Structure 1
Amino acid sequence: MGWLIIATLVTGVSIAVIGLLGEPQTASKNRPFPSNEIDEALVRATPMATILPTPAPAEPYAGPSQAFRSRGGIVIARCEAGLVILRAWSPAPNFHIKSVDRGPGRRGRIEFESDRSEVNVEVLCSPSGLPVHKVTD
């Protein structure tokens, strides 16, 4: 009976400490994006869309997110003040994330990998402030 009380106290204290330390101790910064948000972004995006040049904005701003599909997975990116930020990604079936450089920076990059192949997606900000991508298989 005494061990049950001790186990309950240890569990309670552990949960309280984790709660005080916050999410960075228990969360993965490379988490896949929720599927409902990916679906919403894909509805707004056209696969492999051609971005036509438009005049640059007078001030830097946070532009709309764009979703890009590749054989390795989906990447959602946005440009802010001329810097690209990879907001989310989700590997295709049989692929996993090998590495991610999410930005903000001049470019964002993600490597999807499977047992048989590797797919690299690089995202840059166009002069119009929209993200554009290049896929290398």
Structure 2
Amino acid sequence: MIRMRKWRNAVVTAAWVGVGTAAGALGAWQLASSDSGGAAHSRPLDEGAVSRALAATSASPTPTPTPSVSSPSSSAPSEKASDRSTLRFTGGTATVECRADGTVYLVSWSPADGFHIDDDVERGPAAVARLEAEPSDDDEQDDLPYEIRCGEGGEPRAKVVADDD
């Protein structure tokens, strides 16, 4: 009986080792066969790459369902509804829309290496959008709270403001 139990334990252990080895090999194979190991997405796009990607998606629009009820706030369409730009600042980048009504909207943001963006982002649409870039591992460096506004020409501008904390 004891021999049978030892033999069963050895078989179970061998099975677990085999499953673990197979899982590791499968993971390594998937990483090796993936596109650049995911490194292609580790850098933010520059403004030209964003423009090309947007142009490619607008060239072949996907059909969108039309709403059955029109919005009461809709008015005559303006010639230019919004203007998207990539804004670079110390601590990261942001894709920003300067809208025809003068408001700003943060579409997305990405921290630079060594920073993270605080969770309480005020993305708009509003006259001013706010976000804060915080150093990841340096207690000596100050947080960088930003106000983002749209200028006269529809260009977004980021300005470091006094930290409320």
State how 1:58-97 maps to structure 2 within 5 Å.
59=78, 61-80=80-99, 81-97=101-117
Of Structure 1 and Structure 2, the greater helix share is in: 2
Report the identity percentage: 32
Distance 1:42 1:100, change over 3 A: farther
Structure 2 gaps of 5+ residues are 1-40, 52-77
Distance 1:121 1:62 in 2: 25
Q: How many Å apart are 1:62 and its aligned residue?
A: 2.7
Greater Rg, structure 1 or structure 2?
Answer: 2
TM score, norm. by length of structure 1: 0.53
Q: How many Å apart are 1:91 and its aligned residue?
A: 0.6
Ranked by relative contact order (alpha carbons within 8 Å, sequence separation 6 or more), the top structure is 1
Q: How many Å apart are 1:129 and its aligned residue?
A: 2.8
Count of matched residue positions in the alignment of Structure 1 and Structure 2: 91
Aligned to 2:133: 112
Amino acid at match of 2:96: A
| Residue 102 (structure 1) aligned with residue 126 (structure 2) | no
Aligned to 2:36: none
Structure 1 gaps of 5+ residues are 1-34, 46-58
State how 1:1-137 maps to structure 2 within 5 Å.
35=41, 38-41=44-47, 43=49, 59=78, 61-80=80-99, 81-98=101-118, 99-114=120-135, 115=138, 116-135=141-160
Amino acid at match of 2:125: P
